[in-house]
Amino acid sequence: MNSIKEAKEKLQFLRTKTSFEKMVQVTAILTKLLEPYRIRPIIVGGLAVEIYTRGDYTTVDIDLIVSDREKAGQLLTQLGFVPSGRHWYHDELFVSVEIPNDMLEDADDDKVIELMLEDGLSVYVIGIEDIILDRLRACVHWKSSSDCEWARRMFLLHKERLHFTYMEHVAEKDGTIKQLKEWL
């Protein structure tokens, strides 16, 4: 799939899919279209949590970090998404894309993972440690009990593969070390 026409055809097949499948596939299609420009959109936010909790958490939009918002916006518009600020919405698919930033902040780019999908497409997702730390910051600094819960669930679900030294180092800097140490 290298053309807008092919991408739009692929989008048509998503109508009957679940919201999660639609969001992941839309991201995969956009990722493929951005590939020739050496732009790698990275899933962050709620969709990353949904991926890492294997669907226990659900979200209603796609949050992507894209280094060239203008190019991504052009492609999304060509795919039938309607722009509104830093958001794009597809009326037929009921899919919303937000590009909150052009660079990955408070996260290690080397920890980003590539998920290969069944159809040969792929998506990039913020590292598990960094999405846990993101939710931990919301838990501690914003007093968000739901973020505490989801951070803890992801922590327990992926405990065997987490890089604790990295997490402790970051948590020390951002003031969340006390909560993290309770979990450790």
pLDDT digits (tens, 9 = 90+) for 31-40: 999 999 999 9
pLDDT value, residue 1:
64
Same domain for 139 and 105, yes or no, is no
CA dihedral 145, 22, 8, 15 (to 10 degrees): -130
Q: Is the pLDDT of residue 117 over 90?
A: yes
Same domain for 166 and 118, yes or no, is no
Same domain for 112 and 82, yes or no, is yes
Same domain for 26 and 79, yes or no, is yes
Rounded-to-integer distance, Cα 147 and Cα 23, Å: 21
Looking at the structure of the chain, the number of domains it has is 2
pLDDT tens-digit series, residues 32-91: 999 999 999 999 999 999 999 999 999 999 999 999 999 999 999 999 999 998 899 999
